[in-house]
Structure 1
Amino acid sequence: MKWGLLGGTFDPIHMGHLRCAEEIREIFDLNRIIFIPASRSPHKLDAEITSFYHRAQMVRLAIEGNPSFSFSDVEDQRAGKSYSIETVQYFLDKYLKSIEIYFILGQDAFQAIQTWKEWQKLLLLCNFAVLTRPGYENMGLSGALPEESAAQFVYDEAVGGYRGPTGQHIFFRQVTFLDISSSDIRERARQGKSINYLAPEAVRHYIQKNNLYRIE
């Protein structure tokens, strides 16, 4: 079984998230993509983020009807900040390594990987699927990792990825770039502007029904 883990604040989830997930599922022939909202992001202030409950509900609505997409609240079940290494370890421990994990993230996030908790260990626990986009320079490993860390990974032409000492790979794959951002959706909602076709209809209705992102 090959599973993709896609984390993020999802505030709110939008069509860009869904399209990237679908393309990565297809590229790597994944059995499942698990959407994992961060409960308490170590990179953002809690005051800046909509409650986990609302973000989780929007993710559930967005993926409803797609049998390859599922939801996990694992990061809300833990106290403290939401760290990716703890999430990956949770799935490996729970399923006793009967699954092959592809950790999905954008290239900008990968470039900042050294700011993550225990990032060296994380890179050796699972495969990484780094999303690139047209016009965004693919700097490879040297642009994100120190020289000594990058040297642990050797490019494997057979799979088109960098193989690490534990057999896990770091892949760079270009996906369709939809210029949609959660921050733009929030700002449009605050101003009472249309967010049609930026987020799934069910998510748009949820935002309106619950008066999210509007300034009282």
Structure 2
Amino acid sequence: MKTGILGGTFNPIHLAHLRIAEEVREACGLDRVLFLVADTPPHKRIAARVPFATRLAMVEVAIADHPAFAACAIEREHPGPNYTVDTLQRLHELYPQDEFYFIIGFDSFRDLPSWKDYARIPELTNLVVAHRPGAEATEPMQLLPVAVQKQFCYSCSPEKWRHRSGNWLIFLQETRLDISSTAIRRLVAERRSIRYLVPDPVVDLIEREQLYRI
């Protein structure tokens, strides 16, 4: 099974998350996309201290009508900082027959060298980097350290590179939806509408739980 992985705090999940998951699912021919809800991300704190269970619930109601989308709570099972390389290893153990496609934004790809054991990540999964035309100031591959660049070979187009493990590094141009969880939380705190930024069931859950209000 070809499985996409889209990780995040999803605080809250919004339409840009859903759209990129759908675009990667279609472009890469994925059978499903797992929305990997972060429990204790090492590089950021959970804004507004929204509990894991609540963020997971927002994901579940947001994707309920999509048969190829599923929520993944694996990080909740492992307390402490959750590093991507460790989570990928656990997913391999849980789904040994799956071929994984880890979806990250261009900003996250740019920061990849700061991640724990980042050189192992392309060995564990295909990497799909969602970026926008003109967003990068340099060639995307040049953002990786030279030692890691040498593990890839050019294949057919500058948007697709082959890792020595056999996995792919794919640069996918995404539809631009300038939506952020930070902006959504601010709108809620200001008692303004967030409809058409997040799915309606998520709006209802935020209102019911009185999330993000100061």
The TM-score range, normalised by the shorter chain, is over 0.9
Distance 1:30 1:167 in 2: 17
Aligned amino acid, residue 63 of structure 2? I
Render the CA deviation track for 1:14-35: whole Å, top value 9, x for unaligned: 0000000000000000000000
Task: Structure 1: give runs of 5+ residues left out of the alignment.
Answer: none
CA RMSD of aligned residues (A): 1.5
Task: Structure 2: give runs of 5+ residues left out of the alignment.
Answer: none
Distance 1:68 1:210 in 2: 27
Give SS of 1:183's match. Answer: helix
Corresponding position of 2:85 = 85
Distance 1:15 1:94 in 2: 29
| Further displaced range: 127-136 or 32-41 | 127-136
Aligned amino acid, residue 72 of structure 1? C
Distance 1:75 1:214 in 2: 27
Q: 4+ residue stretches of structure 1 with deviation over 3 A?
A: 46-49
Corresponding position of 1:43 = 43
Render the CA deviation track for 1:17-68: whole Å, top value 9, x for unaligned: 0000000000000000000110011011256542111110000000001000
Give % identity: 40
- Does the aligned pair in 1 maintain the 2:128–2:172 contact within 8 Å? yes
- Does the aligned pair in 1 maintain the 2:48–2:212 contact within 8 Å? no
Aligned amino acid, residue 98 of structure 2? I
Question: What is the TM-score when the length of structure 2 is the normalising length?
Answer: 0.95
* Deviation of 1:134 (Å): 3.2
Is the alpha carbon distance of 1:200 and 1:46 closer, same or farther for their aligned partners in structure 2, counting shifts above 3 Å?
closer
Corresponding position of 1:114 = 113
Distance 2:196 2:118 in 1: 36
Q: Is 1:155 aligned with 2:184?
A: no
Question: What is the TM-score when the length of structure 1 is the normalising length?
Answer: 0.94
Q: Is 1:211 aligned with 2:205?
A: no
Corresponding position of 2:139 = 139
* Deviation of 1:139 (Å): 2.6
Distance 1:91 1:198 in 2: 30
Distance 2:53 2:174 in 1: 30
How many equivalent pairs are there? 213
- Does the aligned pair in 2 maintain the 1:34–1:69 contact within 8 Å? yes
